[in-house]
Each structure stands twice: as structure tokens, then as C-alpha cells.
């Protein structure tokens, strides 16, 4: 069935590190601080709808970035690697650092904002596994000076146990080719668990999803790893999170996200009532005594869910707000926002449903999602600008903003497309957000500097 097969055509990483408590955005404060090509696109966007006097004012020295009223592409990131296959399958951002995974190339790339501001560039550092490269980079996450890379080892690997790799920023900074500081594994791991299919980090806590594959009868799990007092070292989990009602094939752990003491995990193949593959997401709140093996605190579902919606393909959480993607919901996919009740998380349906305009039924909007305090970003990796071109699949990213009265059903605030993302780019395969910056992966982009994949940085108001 199409919806089921899509979950593994590209390994679902959820690509969703915890971004809402990342370092504060240190982007340039004036347009003049940006690279020339970015200034051009942003000034053009600013001019839309502005009078001549306003346009002239925007060309004066150093207008403030908060005056920007439209989203614009700031830079494109590409890989210098000879085999950048699926580069952009996963992305993460924290402060001035962006990480991009290339699972079919078997590496992750680190980008640091130059003093002159973000610009078209290649990586400053490459992260590699000390072992087999297979699927390394399927998922990436970053929090401050710590990067975590997932390696589920599903596609043509010698084993499919999976693992997560921790990289701590060296004293000299991110540069050159680096191998891991520590390897995180499951004490009860078995073949086909696919640990590392999704990854998330907040401070000293890492969560890794192990959804299993179609070759296993496991229900899936998420593993929590807490950094030891003496620093990261090879270790097995601190706790294992499971669904109390999970059954074989739910692929629980396909997507994971953590924000302080709250973890959200998606199970996109879970049956709800008689609806196969409708999907569900589960919330886990850290007990007062610290993380330990547990089942969910609450279960999240869509009030209008249907068969093969695959709700839970992507998840993100920031504070009291969780977002769950259902890329096969009609029409064209949807994102569901859940706001924690005052009494705490409980079984519930959505607070708001986010949908896009101007798309098509196959767009898979919310294949990836990210959230900060006031914005949700959702990737539509199969969006195509021309409805008659059934295989264009350029991809797009939608930005939603929380109304002043709180989250309600909403249509997008902006639609972002890559300047040179064309046939089979799949822009929106992965997304990340930090303040005014959005990063989106285009894992099949053959147009960006003639590589197999790319990532784009967008700046908004």
C-alpha cells in the first residue's frame, strides 16, 4: 500500500531535534550585515506592497531585520563530499550551527555561520562513524555544543540493530573530519530494531526512536539516554519508552522529539478504531525521580483521522505545544497542534489543524515538522508547482504562525520554495527552525551545485 511503503522509501528520521530551547538566534541585526545575494532577495521581498518612499527607505543604510515582512531564501548549503547522496534527508539548527545528514553517503555535515552572515557555502566539518557508514546521517539533532547522529542500519547494512552517535564540539571548534565521542545503543536491541531512525536532544538528554522494520514483530520503542556526570561515553539506555496499547507493525518511534521533560513519539501505522494506519502520537513526561522505563502519559489522535493518514510520521514539541504530522491526510497532508491542558497532558485530540493552500493531493504536507514558541514549520516534500507535472516533486515548506488568541485551525502564513529546487528535489524532506531562520532539506536535489541533495536557509519576519 502506498502510504505504508512511503514510510521506508526514505528512512523517516523525523529529522526533528528539539529546537525551541536552542541557543538564541544570533542572525545579523541589519540587512546590510547579510551577504549581497541575500540583501537583494530580501529587499525585493520588502518592496512588495510598499510605497516608493518606503522602498527608498529600505535601501538606506542598515534597516532593521524586524522590518522584513516577507520570507526569503537566505542561502543554500551544499556538500563538498564526492558522494553526497540524500544530503538533506535530515537537518538541525542551534544558534550559529547547522547540521545536515546524508544517509546514503554515510556522513553528516556541519555548517557554521561566517562572520559576514549565512551565505551559499559547503561544510566546515564532516562527522563520520568509526564503524560502518551505512545509513549514518538518517537523523540528526543538535543542542548547544552537542550533535547526535542516528544510524538505523536498515538499507543493505550488515546489521540493523541501529545506534546513535554523540559528537561533542572539540576545543578547537567544528572542523575537519571527526568521529564520535560516544555510541548509544539499546541493551535489549535485536536485529531490525532500527535504533536511530529518529533522534532528538535537549541539553543532556537524548531520545532515539527504534521503530523496527517490516521484518520484525516489534511494536517499536523510544530510548532515553541521559549524559553521565563525567560526560558522554559509550552506554546503553537510561530508560525505554513504549506504548501501552502498541501492537506489531505500529512503527512506534518513527518520529521523536524532546523538550525539557516532555517526549513525544509517533506511531504512524497504528490502527485507530477500524482505521488501519491512521496513526497516533504518545506523550511521556519525565517522572519526578528521573527517566525510567514507562508507558505513555497521554495519547494524541486526530479527531478527523482516517485510514492511511499516517498521523505520527513527524512530531515536534516545544514547551506546552506539540505538533504531529499526518502527510497522507486529505487534502494533501496536515499538521495537528496540541496544547497541553492546564492540568497536564492527557488523552486528547487536536487543538488546531494546519493545512496548506495551492497544493495538490500528493504533496505530503507535514512529512516533516518543527515548532518554536509561536511558529510551526511543515515540509511538503512532494509539492509540485505545476499540477500537470505529475513527477516534478520540487517540494515546499509552509510556515504557520500562532494567532494572538492562541492556536486555532489555520492556513499557512508563507510558502517557501528553493530558488533552484526543481525536478525531484523533495524540498521539505526535513525542516528545522530557530527564531527567524528556517532550514529545509532537499534530499534529492540534483540542481543545487549538481549534487545529490541540498539544504536551504530562509529568513523571515
Domain ranges of the chain: 2-29+64-426+439-459
Question: What pLDDT, on the 0 to 100 scale, is given for residue 228?
Answer: 98
d(CA 194, CA 197): 6
Q: Which three cell numbers stand for residue 124?
A: 566546515
Asked whether the predicted pLDDT for residue 254 surpasses 70, the reply is yes
- Confidence label for 138 from pLDDT (cuts 50, 70 and 90): very high
Architecture of domain 2-29+64-426+439-459: 7 Propeller (2.130)
CB 192 within 8 A of CB 213: yes
- Confidence label for 1 from pLDDT (cuts 50, 70 and 90): very low
Which value, to the nearest 10 degrees, does the dihedral of the CA atoms of residues 172, 173, 179, 181 take? 90
- Confidence label for 155 from pLDDT (cuts 50, 70 and 90): confident
d(CA 359, CA 385): 8
Q: Which three cell numbers stand for residue 384?
A: 509540485
Asked whether the predicted pLDDT for residue 102 surpasses 80, the reply is yes
CA 53 to chain centre: 40
d(CA 448, CA 257): 29
Block residue for cell numbers 550551527: 97
Block residue for cell numbers 538533506: 88
Question: What pLDDT, on the 0 to 100 scale, is given for residue 59?
Answer: 35
Question: What pLDDT, on the 0 to 100 scale, is given for residue 392?
Answer: 72
- Confidence label for 453 from pLDDT (cuts 50, 70 and 90): confident
Which range has the worst mean pLDDT, 23-27, 72-76, 252-256, 424-428? Answer: 23-27
Q: Which three cell numbers stand for residue 119?
A: 551565505
Question: What pLDDT, on the 0 to 100 scale, is given for residue 446?
Answer: 54
Residue 121 DSSP symbol: B
Q: What is the mean pLDDT of residues 26-49?
A: 45
Asked whether the predicted pLDDT for residue 389 surpasses 90, the reply is no
> In the chain, what are the helix, strand and coil shares in percent, each to the nearest 5?
5, 40, 55
CB 32 within 8 A of CB 59: no
- Confidence label for 306 from pLDDT (cuts 50, 70 and 90): very high
pLDDT tens for each residue of 48-95: 333 333 333 333 343 444 444 689 999 999 999 877 778 999 999 999
Asked whether the predicted pLDDT for residue 38 surpasses 90, the reply is no
Question: What pLDDT, on the 0 to 100 scale, is given for residue 330?
Answer: 85
Question: What pLDDT, on the 0 to 100 scale, is given for residue 360?
Answer: 77
How many C-beta atoms lie closer than 10 Å to residue 40's C-beta? Answer: 12
Q: What is the mean pLDDT of residues 232-259?
A: 97
Which range has the worst mean pLDDT, 87-96, 209-218, 294-303? Answer: 209-218
CA 21 to chain centre: 15
d(CA 207, CA 258): 7
Question: What pLDDT, on the 0 to 100 scale, is given for residue 388?
Answer: 62
Q: What is the mean pLDDT of residues 381-401?
A: 81
As a whole number, the mean pLDDT across the chain is 84
Whether omega for the bond prior to residue 32 falls within 30 degrees of 0, making it cis, is no
Q: What is the pTM of this model?
A: 0.86
Which range has the worst mean pLDDT, 41-50, 122-131, 142-151, 401-410? Answer: 41-50
Q: What is the mean pLDDT of residues 395-412?
A: 92
Question: What pLDDT, on the 0 to 100 scale, is given for residue 457?
Answer: 97
Question: What pLDDT, on the 0 to 100 scale, is given for residue 85?
Answer: 79
Residue 47 DSSP symbol: H
Amino acid at each position: 500500500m502506498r502510504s505504508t511503503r512511503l514510510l521506508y522509501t526514505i528512512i523517516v528520521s523525523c529529522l526533528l531535534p528539539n529546537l525551541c530551547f536552542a541557543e538564541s538566534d544570533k542572525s545579523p541585526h541589519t540587512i546590510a550585515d547579510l551577504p549581497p545575494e541575500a540583501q537583494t532577495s530580501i529587499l525585493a521581498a520588502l518592496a512588495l506592497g510598499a510605497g516608493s518612499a518606503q522602498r527608498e527607505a529600505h535601501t538606506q543604510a542598515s534597516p532593521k531585520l524586524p522590518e522584513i515582512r516577507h520570507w526569503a531564501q537566505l542561502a543554500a548549503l551544499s556538500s563538498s563530499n564526492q558522494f553526497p547522496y540524500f544530503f538533506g534527508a535530515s537537518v538541525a539548527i542551534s544558534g550559529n550551527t547547522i547540521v545536515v545528514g546524508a544517509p546514503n553517503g554515510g556522513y553528516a555535515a556541519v555548517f557554521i555561520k561566517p562572520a559576514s552572515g549565512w551565505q551559499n557555502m559547503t561544510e566546515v566539518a564532516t562527522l563520520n562513524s568509526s564503524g560502518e557508514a551505512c545509513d549514518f546521517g538518517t537523523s540528526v539533532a543538535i543542542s548547544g555544543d552537542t550533535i547526535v547522529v542516528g544510524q538505523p542500519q536498515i538499507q543493505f547494512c550488515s546489521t540493523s540493530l541501529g545506534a546513535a552517535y554523540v559528537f561533542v564540539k572539540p576545543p578547537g571548534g567544528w572542523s575537519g573530519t571527526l568521529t564520535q565521542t560516544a555510541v548509544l545503543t539499546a541493551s535489549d536491541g535485536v536485529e531490525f530494531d532500527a535504533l536511530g531512525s529518529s533522534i532528538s536532544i535537549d541539553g543532556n538528554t537524548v531520545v532515539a526512536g527504534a521503530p523496527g522494520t517490516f521484518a520484525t514483530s516489534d511494536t517499536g520503542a523510544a530510548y532515553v539516554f541521559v549524559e553521565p556526570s563525567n560526560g558522554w561515553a559509550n552506554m546503553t539506555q537510561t530508560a525505554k519508552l513504549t506504548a501501552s496499547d502498541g501492537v506489531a507493525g505500529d512503527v512506534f518511534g518513527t518520529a521523536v522529539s524532546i523538550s525539557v521533560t516532555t517526549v513525544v513519539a509517533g506511531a504512524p501505522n497504528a490502527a485507530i478504531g477500524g482505521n488501519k494506519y491512521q496513526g497516533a502520537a504518545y506523550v511521556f513526561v519525565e517522572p519526578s525521580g528521573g527517566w525510567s522505563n514507562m508507558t505513555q502519559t497521554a495519547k494524541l489522535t486526530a479527531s478527523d483521522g482516517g485510514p492511511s493518514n499516517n498521523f505520527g510520521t513527524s512530531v515536534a514539541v516545544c514547551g506546552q505545544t506539540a505538533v504531529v504530522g499526518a502527510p497522507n491526510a486529505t487534502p494533501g497532508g496536515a499538521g495537528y497542534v496540541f496544547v497541553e491542558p492546564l492540568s497536564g497532558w492527557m488523552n486528547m485530540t487536536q487543538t488546531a489543524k494546519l493545512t496548506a493552500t495551492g497544493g495538490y493531493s500528493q504533496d505530503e504536507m507535514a512529512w516533516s515538522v518543527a515548532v518554536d514558541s509561536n511558529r510551526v514549520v511543515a515540509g511538503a516534500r512532494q509539492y509540485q508547482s505545476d499540477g500537470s507535472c505529475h513527477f516534478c516533486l520540487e517540494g515546499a515548506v509552509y510556515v504557520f504562525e500562532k494567532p494572538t488568541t492562541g492556536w486555532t485551525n489555520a492556513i499557512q502564513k508563507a510558502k517557501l520554495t528553493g530558488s533552484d529546487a526543481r525536478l525531484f528535489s523533495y524540498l521539505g524532506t526535513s525542516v528545522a527552525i530557530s527564531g527567524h531562520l528556517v532550514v529545509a532539506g532537499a534530499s534529492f536535489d540534483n540542481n543545487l551545485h549538481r549534487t545529490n541533495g541540498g539544504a536551504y536557509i530562509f529568513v523571515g519576519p
